Structure 1
Amino acid sequence: MLKNGEIAPDFALHDARMQLIRLSDYQGQHHVVLYFFSRDHSPGGITEAVEFSDRAETFKSLGTVVLGVSLDDCLSHEAFQDEHGIEFGLLSDAEGEVSRLYHVLRETAAVGMVKYAIERSTFVIDRQGVIRHAFYHVLPKGHAAEILSLVKQLG
């Protein structure tokens, strides 16, 4: 598990519009809220995304970029954003590489098959690329408000 004070692992993933997004692109300029969720169109995924989206302008006014990551592909993310009016970037980690870097990918066995799923987690990363807050086992309802209050403390 990653801990507060560690350097956030850099990565490059495509967003819903097929733009390549690198964490390091924001270093020195913006704080980043990086949250991992199970999948588009799931009840928890909708709740969390809508709550972050409802606060997108406030995050932006605080110099903070919100990025959501799941194993879904870019086309799924695009449909999800359009359907729910999501106002921030959703990144596709279809191979699970970034999810592994952040220790949020969990292996589950069902009916003799191994599947991988993301454990809902959030990282608040400051402008220097340092993890200021790391949360694993996140509940979606009310989480965006909690994260916003922490970002306000970053200055």
Structure 2
Amino acid sequence: MSQTMLFTLPDQDGQLFNAAEHLPLVLYFYPKDSTPGCTTEAQEFSALLPQFQAAGYTVAGISRDSVKSHHNFVCKYALSVALLADTDEAVCRQFDVIKEKNMYGKKVLGIERSTFVLDANGHIVHEWRKVKAAGHAQAVLDALKTA
């Protein structure tokens, strides 16, 4: 895939996060702020952030939640990763992470937990789909160390 996957979204503080300024970039998509799996994933990426940074990577999470929701999530759990608000799903659709899910017997569209690594040119060089939250951040870091 040679398509450049660049975008700009507001972060938890309402500041614009331009992906082109943060390459190489680890980008993880998650369904909802303050839910158990998403909290685990955000805490693990936050805990490992210094190691990602030492390897030269920025880490950011994306969901459809609002800037205010992200801000509350970051404050509640003392998260250190940037959380980006994709309220119109444009970036979620760009990365094809909006999938039909079964929620209590109803079919709904939601974010499939996925992670992408963008290289210095904004191209996807690694991707993980249908991720299990616990331990995933470490698996991404390990993959980057061996790349």
**TM-score strictly above 0.5:** yes
Aligned residues: 147
Task: Map 1:21-60; keep pairs closer than 5 Å.
Answer: 21-26=17-22, 30-60=23-53
**SS where residue 132 of structure 2 aligns?**
coil
Give 1:119's match in structure 2, choosing from 112, 127, 136: 112
What do residues 48-93 of structure 1 show as CA deviations (whole Å, max 9, x unaligned)?
0000001011111111100100010000000100111110100001
- Displacement of 1:115 in angstroms is 3.9
TM-score (norm 2): 0.91
Task: Map 1:64-103; keep pairs closer than 5 Å.
Answer: 64-103=57-96
- Displacement of 1:11 in angstroms is 1.1
Partner of residue 8, structure 2: 12
- Structure 1: state its 5+ residue gaps: none
- Displacement of 1:120 in angstroms is 0.2
TM-score (norm 1): 0.87
Aligned 8 A contact 2:5 2:124 in 1: no
Quick one: percent identity of the two aligned structures?
35
What do residues 7-30 of structure 1 show as CA deviations (whole Å, max 9, x unaligned)?
34211110000011121122xxx3
Cα distance in 1 between the residues matched to 2:38 and 2:92 = 16
- Displacement of 1:151 in angstroms is 1.9
Q: Tell me the amino acid that sits aligned with residue 24 of structure 2.
A: H
Answer yes or no: is 1:147 the counterpart of 2:140: yes
Runs of 4+ deviating beyond 4 Å: 108-111
- Structure 2: state its 5+ residue gaps: none
> How well do the aligned residues superpose, as a CA RMSD in angstroms?
2.0
- Displacement of 1:107 in angstroms is 3.6
